[in-house]
Amino acid sequence: MQLPRLTSASKRTTLLLYILIGVLVLFALRLFYLQVIRHGHYTYLAQQTQVSKLTIVPERGKIYALDGNQPVPLVLNQTVFTVFADPQEVEDKNAVTRAMSEIAGGNVVDGYQERLDDEELRYVVMGRQLSREQAEKLQAKKLAGVGFQKGSRRDYPEGQLGSQMLGYVDSEGEGKYGLEGFLNSRLAGKQGLLETVTDVRQIPLTIGDSDTSRPAVNGDNLLLSIDRNIQQQTEQVLKDGLAKAKATKGSVIVMDPNTGRVMAMANYPTYDANKYAEVEDYRLFLNSVVNEPYEVGSVMKVLTMGAGLDSGAVTVNSTFNDISGCTTVDGERICNVEEDPRQAVATMADTLQYSLNTGVVHILERMGGGSVNQQARQKLYDYYAGRYRFDKLTGIEQSFEADSILVGPNSGQGRNVRYANMAFGQGMNLTMIQTAAAFSAAMNGGTYYQPTLVKGTIADDGTVQEQAPKVVATGVLSVGASNELREMTYQGRHKGFFGKLDPAGYKIGGKTGTSQIIDPKTGKYSDDNSIGSYLGFGGSDKPQYVIMVRVEDSKLTTGYAGTVAAGPIFNELSTWMLSYLEIPPKN
């Protein structure tokens, strides 16, 4: 049987069929190539354009002080908002700009109006740091194309209270100065990560298994050893005392000598950490208690006496000839500030009570076996640097802690004269925190505690995790020498003018100090300006607080600034502390 022959029409249909099948095969191969073989490549391209890695910002740790035994907030986080617009979605630009002007005020971003005209943009920031109230008012206007992003801003509800001690957080979220700067990483926490599909405004569009998420770790909530009431009282007494002394600047630190914990740290003049951007002189940010070393003057006589007692160079009953009120070291005459009104033979107790320069030079001579020499210098240096730690930073939680200027026993010219001057607080520079910490160790039985502002942490449920005081060194002075020194320091104040002002039944001890300020124009000590200091303790059976006061540039007097300017501030604060701490008097 003969098969039918194909017509030309049939041939064309068959050809078209083959062509169609070929095209379909090519499409299938192309799709296979794109979807299977090149799948990874195009997935990668899609991720690059659609998927964003978003940083999850942790909550910065809060900072609490004590109100007696109860934590109270010193530093909090306030919710703030960034307001933005999508120019392609904005329907009424005039309404938007008018609302921003009326409600956002000073939070408006300069030049945002011009960017709203650019419809190629999809995200224009119009305002930052808006309060919740401002954001709610804007949101109520239901402006098309306007959105909000929530953020956080540091809030200092107590205003100026403890500002130099606390520091501040700048607009970039970085802690600056004080505690905020020193413990920035601990307060800031650790950032988290979210990798997900977002829109042009970086707002996540999906939440699924393909998203990558690492939660943020919030910063530590810190509980300070600062007592809010003591801090407030200290600042007020300092401010009032400076006004009475006609002084320009001053600082006070209050410490617990038995733990190293700081109960108050005040400076004046001060500033409001909420308004740090308005401060024109950066020096106002510095905490003078830890940032400014100076010649502490005669308060050093107490610590030199401690070295003399502990080393055995002198005893409580040691005497020396003070008939002229002067002594000579390497041909240089060193005299007392005023004549000793009593007798030619002076005791160690007289040295502290009448602030005799000759008395501490005598101690230095006894350290050298009878004269100021290399042995004497080395022994005194060993106490200053090795025991009292004057050549080391204390480690207090404050940015920019300054170190001392302490010349070694074999450095420079005129070494013997320099060390004779150092014995009564001249010729070396110390910070208040270094001096107060060493004094605390000398008074508490010889244990040096690291000065600290942090008492512990507070968990989200309010649980307090307290950290133990850190013992840096023991045996700074022997217990016996410490007890003798404490009694001598008490008697030195008790028998003087200030002792008459102290409440009965308490042991209040202390020492004045006055140091001249070097005139930057002449490079020499000036008779016109001085720094007055007072360093002392208070309690009943044992010291329960140490207070150091510094008053700069008092206009009342130049020679006795420690007595007339710094002393009254100590007196008022010390008496208040006895009452506030409810320390019972000893019969």
More confident residue, 27 or 361: 361
**CATH of the domain spanning 55-90+120-220:** 3.90.1310.10
Neighbours of 99 (CB within 10 A): 19
Kindly state the average pLDDT of the residues 94-118.
Answer: 90
Tens digits of residue pLDDT in 135-188: 999 999 999 989 888 888 999 999 999 999 999 999 888 999 999 999 999 999
Q: How far apart are CA 381 and CA 299, in angstroms?
A: 17
Contact between 100 and 148 under an 8 Å Cβ cutoff? The reply is no
CATH class belonging to 226-580: alpha beta
Q: How far apart are CA 531 and CA 249, in angstroms?
A: 10
Pairing outcome for strands 124-130 and 146-155:
unpaired
Residue 320: the pLDDT is 95
Residue 195: the pLDDT is 60
Q: Band the pLDDT of 342: cuts 50, 70, 90.
A: low
Tell me which H or E stretch contains 567: helix 567-580
Residue 40: the pLDDT is 64
Report pTM: 0.85
What are the domain boundaries of the chain? Answer: 55-90+120-220, 226-580
Tens digits of residue pLDDT in 530-554: 899 999 999 998 999 999 999 998 8
Contact between 436 and 253 under an 8 Å Cβ cutoff? The reply is yes
- One DSSP character per residue, 451-512 reads PBSEEEEE-TTS-EEEPPPPEEES-SS-HHHHHHHHHHHHHHHHTSTGGGGSPTT-EEEEEE
Tell me which H or E stretch contains 511: strand 507-519
Neighbours of 374 (CB within 10 A): 13
Q: What is the mean pLDDT of the chain?
A: 89
Contact between 522 and 537 under an 8 Å Cβ cutoff? The reply is no
- Tell me: cis bond preceding 269? Omega within 30 of 0 counts: yes
DSSP conformational letter for 396: -
Q: How far apart are CA 94 and CA 116, in angstroms?
A: 10
Rounded to 10 degrees, the C-alpha dihedral 11/17/23/27 comes to -170
Q: Band the pLDDT of 29: cuts 50, 70, 90.
A: confident
Residue 559: the pLDDT is 61
Tens digits of residue pLDDT in 35-84: 777 766 655 555 555 555 556 778 999 999 999 999 999 999 998 898 99
SS3 assignment, position 543: strand
Residue 304: the pLDDT is 98
Q: Band the pLDDT of 122: cuts 50, 70, 90.
A: confident
